[in-house]
Amino acid sequence: MRDALTDDAHGTKGVPTGTWGGEHVEMNVAHDSATLEFDCAHATIPRRISLDRRGRFDVAGTYFEEHGGPVRMGEQPGGYAARFTGRVAGETMKLTVARGSTRKIMGTFTLARGREPSIVKCR
Asked if the structure places residue 118 within a domain, the reply is: no
Using CA atoms, how far apart are residues 73 and 102, in angstroms rounded to an integer? 31
Q: How many domains does the chain have?
A: 1
Domain that holds residue 34: 13-67+76-113
Asked if the structure places residue 5 within a domain, the reply is: no
pLDDT at residue 100 tops 60: yes
Q: Over the stretch 102-123, which tens digit does the pLDDT of each residue have?
A: 889 999 999 999 999 999 888 6
Asked if the structure places residue 122 within a domain, the reply is: no
Asked if the structure places residue 95 within a domain, the reply is: yes
pLDDT at residue 26 tops 80: yes
Per-residue CA distances from 19 to 15, 42, 63, 112 (Å): 11, 15, 19, 8
Using CA atoms, how far apart are residues 44 and 63, in angstroms rounded to an integer? 7
Rounded mean pLDDT, 59-86: 82
H helix or E strand, kind and range, residue 63:
strand 56-65
Asked if the structure places residue 100 within a domain, the reply is: yes
pTM: 0.84
How high is the pLDDT of residue 2?
A: 39
How high is the pLDDT of residue 73?
A: 72
Asked if the structure places residue 84 within a domain, the reply is: yes
Using CA atoms, how far apart are residues 29 and 18, in angstroms rounded to an integer? 5
Q: Over the stretch 31-48, which tens digit does the pLDDT of each residue have?
A: 999 999 999 999 999 999
SS3 14: strand
Asked if the structure places residue 34 within a domain, the reply is: yes
Asked if the structure places residue 123 within a domain, the reply is: no
